[in-house]
DNA sequence: AAACGTGGTTTCCTAATAAGAAACGAAAGA
DNA sequence: TCTTTCGTTTCTTATTAGGAAACCACGTTT
């Protein structure tokens, strides 16, 4: 632990909390360090543009460098590596099949799959396209798009019947989407494939737009109501964490 | 200058440039510092979440803390204080009236005004609403909105004639807007007020959306073609700088 | 399979340096 | 005008950051 660096970073955190900035003395009190030491740290941070001093009030606030790096960073974060550790957690906690599905220009794709350890498995392929109306992730994705985009997708793909449970009525689907938005997750019981049940939650990016969804799927015999209830909680929790990793600030 | 902090910040900058991260040795070479020193610095940065280590590759990359702070930060930056110093520069460089105009939900307002030092002045008030079709800033603002939003505004406000030069024909206005988009600035010669000429450039935020415009205005007798040419260059330059301060990455 | 190389991590010592005390200077308030 | 406050500077000493070298884990080569 490099002490001066530690202190410098604490200064940054402190300064970032006060939009209008803080004075040297104020910072010195909070960090519990000598004024002159704080001053020197601030100067170093200033030289790098991480902190800047208001010319009039003499107070210190976050600098342009921070903003510069942030925006570049937010644009360049990759979903997959950010999500991976959380997906792994879901895998070990549930022992079911975990899917990461991204939405990109009218299409949804599986980009990650974790198998779980149990023997009875659902079959799926990374890269395969996802049905929007008949899967939990698909429903979650369209539920959080703007209405126009969702309408275009549904228009284009229609509502083909996959099983007896598939929602083929548009009105019913719209109600289902509303439900998904309010409760924060989506469930699908044998709507896509007989014997398979699924639960999914959304991932949002730094602009607040939906970019992906995570689903947990398994045999309906195992994913019964009480089990889904358990899984739901941790699924939503991890999805929120992934969203925050992408810079999402809501919730 | 606190040396260790300086080095730590250089590490951050370095790491931020490589999306996939860097190893200790790699960093040590670039910073020209001993491996162990770099290691200790990295550990400190890690403890604060500014840097994180990939579990598999062992490489170091920017951490969640950065992302967390950035997104909060980008949402909370105030345009006015960011723009102020650049507007002052424009003022001293041109000696004309400088206006900062924000766009917010269908309306445009002056939120900042700098007078210049010369005697002959245009009159305007901070807080006053801005005409969209008859001023250079107004035109710049609608030029960079999406078509639907621009159409709504024009529909609502119409194209009232202020002077003989006011553009009252919709087709002609649309052509003008196209021109503004391609050349990156807008000019208005006595379209809003007889005797006053104006030039304006756009400011974009971190999402790439237009949020404001800066205009420089003065008597037409002084703001002649060659003078406008000079002013144009520095105006666009400062506007770009302000945009970058707000996290804009384009250009 | 053993030797070698590479890259991350740890240890330890000492020279470099960050921290603190105190003084200074400018600005704001009484 | 005097006082207080706050940012800045100076200087000295105890702290500590940095460097050399060794260590360890892993992968590759011979």
Protein residue minimizing CA–C1' distance to C7: B25
A112 lies in the same domain as A219? yes
- Asked if A6 and B41 come within 8 Å (Cβ–Cβ), the reply is no
Reply yes or no on whether the pLDDT at A67 is more than 60: yes
The pLDDT assigned to A122 comes to: 42
Q: State whether the Cα torsion A64-A69-A75-A77 is positive or negative.
A: negative
Look at residue A25 and tell me if it is in a domain.
yes
Q: How far is CA A185 from CA A61, A143, A162, A207, in A?
A: 39, 10, 22, 20
Is strand C within 7 Å of residue A25 (CB)?
A: no
Is strand C within 7 Å of residue B29 (CB)?
A: no
Is the CB of residue B134 less than 8 Å from the CB of residue B108? Answer: no
A109 lies in the same domain as A40? no
Reply yes or no on whether the pLDDT at A199 is more than 70: yes
Is the CB of residue B50 less than 8 Å from the CB of residue A13? Answer: no
Q: How far is the CA of B31 from the C1' of D6 (A)?
A: 36
- Asked if B16 and A72 come within 8 Å (Cβ–Cβ), the reply is yes
The count of CB pairs under 8 A between chains A and B is: 131
A70 lies in the same domain as A83? no
Q: Around Cβ B226, how many Cβ atoms within 10 Å?
A: 8
Read off the pLDDT of residues A1-20 as tens digits, 9 standing for 90 and up: 788 999 999 999 888 888 77
A16 touches chain B (CB under 8 A): yes
Quote the minimal CA–CA distance from A249 to chain B in Å: 7
Which residues lie closer than 8 Å to A167 by C-beta, 6 or more apart? A133, A134, A159, A173, A176, A191
Reply yes or no on whether the pLDDT at A190 is more than 90: yes
A129 lies in the same domain as A19? no
A127 lies in the same domain as A55? no
Last residue of a domain, one of B22, B39, B74: B74
B70 lies in the same domain as B81? no
Q: Which chain B residues are Cβ-neighbours of A77 within 8 angstroms?
A: 67
Last residue of a domain, one of B24, B39, B74: B74
Give the residue-averaged pLDDT of B105-134.
68
The pLDDT assigned to B204 comes to: 93
Read off the pLDDT of residues A83-105 as tens digits, 9 standing for 90 and up: 888 998 999 899 999 999 988 77
Q: State whether the Cα torsion B218-B222-B225-B227 is positive or negative.
A: negative
Residues 107-166 of A with CB under 8 A from B: none
Mean pLDDT, chain B, integer: 86
CA A85 – CA A213 distance, rounded (Å)? 15
B70 lies in the same domain as B84? no
The pLDDT assigned to B121 comes to: 36
Q: How far is the CA of B24 from the C1' of D27 (A)?
A: 18
Reply yes or no on whether the pLDDT at A166 is more than 80: yes
Q: Which chain B residues are Cβ-neighbours of A55 within 8 angstroms?
A: 85
Which residues lie closer than 8 Å to B3 by C-beta, 6 or more apart? none
The pLDDT assigned to B250 comes to: 78
CA A90 – CA A92 distance, rounded (Å)? 6
Look at residue B24 and tell me if it is in a domain.
yes
The pLDDT assigned to B251 comes to: 67
Reply yes or no on whether the pLDDT at A146 is more than 70: yes
Look at residue B250 and tell me if it is in a domain.
no
B102 lies in the same domain as B180? yes
Read off the pLDDT of residues A224-246 as tens digits, 9 standing for 90 and up: 999 999 999 999 999 999 999 88
B62 lies in the same domain as B105? no
Is the CB of residue A251 less than 8 Å from the CB of residue A84? Answer: no
The pLDDT assigned to B122 comes to: 41
Look at residue B219 and tell me if it is in a domain.
yes
Burial tier of A22 (Cβ tally within 10 Å: 0-12, 13-18, 19+):
buried
Residue A249 has its nearest CB partner, among B1, B75, B81, at B75
Look at residue A251 and tell me if it is in a domain.
no
Q: Which chain B residues are Cβ-neighbours of A18 within 8 angstroms?
A: none
B80-85 long-range contacts, CB within 8 A, separation 24+: B80/B111, B80/B112, B81/A54, B82/B242, B82/B245, B82/B246, B83/B112, B83/B203, B83/B212, B83/B214, B83/B242, B83/B245, B84/B112, B85/A55
B64 touches chain A (CB under 8 A): yes
Give the residue-averaged pLDDT of B98-109.
85
Is the CB of residue B211 less than 8 Å from the CB of residue B242? Answer: no
CA A208 – CA A206 distance, rounded (Å)? 5
- Domain of A177, CATH number, reads 3.30.450.40
CA A204 – CA A202 distance, rounded (Å)? 7
- A89's tokens: 């957690």
A151 lies in the same domain as A208? yes
Look at residue B251 and tell me if it is in a domain.
no
Task: Give the domain extent around B131.
Answer: 77-245
Q: How far is the CA of A4 from the C1' of D17 (A)?
A: 9
Using alpha carbons, select from A200, A212, A215, A217 the residue that is nearest to residue A243. A212
Mean pLDDT, chain A, integer: 87
A60 touches chain B (CB under 8 A): no
B80 touches chain A (CB under 8 A): no
In eight-state DSSP terms, residue A106 is T
Read off the pLDDT of residues B44-78 as tens digits, 9 standing for 90 and up: 999 898 898 887 788 898 887 777 777 767 776 77
Using alpha carbons, select from B150, B108, B140 the residue that is nearest to residue B236. B140
The pLDDT assigned to A54 comes to: 82
- A184's tokens: 């924060």
A236 against B209, higher pLDDT: A236
B124 lies in the same domain as B207? yes
Label residue A120 by pLDDT band (50, 70, 90). very low
Read off the pLDDT of residues A21-51 as tens digits, 9 standing for 90 and up: 899 989 998 888 888 899 999 999 998 988 9
Total domains in the fold of chain B: 2
- Asked if A67 and B245 come within 8 Å (Cβ–Cβ), the reply is yes
User: Which range among A73-82, B10-19, B219-228, B240-249 shows the weakest confidence by mean pLDDT?
Assistant: A73-82
Last residue of a domain, one of B74, B90, B118: B74
- Domain of A56, CATH number, reads 1.10.10.10
Give the residue-averaged pLDDT of A109-137.
70
A58 lies in the same domain as A95? no
In eight-state DSSP terms, residue B129 is B
Look at residue A250 and tell me if it is in a domain.
no
Nucleotides of D under 7 A from a protein CB: 6-11, 15-22
Q: Which chain A residues are Cβ-neighbours of B5 within 8 angstroms?
A: 4-5, 8, 41, 44-45
Question: What percent of chain A has pLDDT above 70?
Answer: 93
Q: Which chain A residues are Cβ-neighbours of B249 within 8 angstroms?
A: 71-72, 75
B208 against A238, higher pLDDT: A238
Helix, coil or strand: residue B4: helix
CA B238 – CA A220 distance, rounded (Å)? 61
A174 against A103, higher pLDDT: A174
Look at residue B115 and tell me if it is in a domain.
yes
The pLDDT assigned to A192 comes to: 93
B175 against B2, higher pLDDT: B175
């Amino acid at each position: 632990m490099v002490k001066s660096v530690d202190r410098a970073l604490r200064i940054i955190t402190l300064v970032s909390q006060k939009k209008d900035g803080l004075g040297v003395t104020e910072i010195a009190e909070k960090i519990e360090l000598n004024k002159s030491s704080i001053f020197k740290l601030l100067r170093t941070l200033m030289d790098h543009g991480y902190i800047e001093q208001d010319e009039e009030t003499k107070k210190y606030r976050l600098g342009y460098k921070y903003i510069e790096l942030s925006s570049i960073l937010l644009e360049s974060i990759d979903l997959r590596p950010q999500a991976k550790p959380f997906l792994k957690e879901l895998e070990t906690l549930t022992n079911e099949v975990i899917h990461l599905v991204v939405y990109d220009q009218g299409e949804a794709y599986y980009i990650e799959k974790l198998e779980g350890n149990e023997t009875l498995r659902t079959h799926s392929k990374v890269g395969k396209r996802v049905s929007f109306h008949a899967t939990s992730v698909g429903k979650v994705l369209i539920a959080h798009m703007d209405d126009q985009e969702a309408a275009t997708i549904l228009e284009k793909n229609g509502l083909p019947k996959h099983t007896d449970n598939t929602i083929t009525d548009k009105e019913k689907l719209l109600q289902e989407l509303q439900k998904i938005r309010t409760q924060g997750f989506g469930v699908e019981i044998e709507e896509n494939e007989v014997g398979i049940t699924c639960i999914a939650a959304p991932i949002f990016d730094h602009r607040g737009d939906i970019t992906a969804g995570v689903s947990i799927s398994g045999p309906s015999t195992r994913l019964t109501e009480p089990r889904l209830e358990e899984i739901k909680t941790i699924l939503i929790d991890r999805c929120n964490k992934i969203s925050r990793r992408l810079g999402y600030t809501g919730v």
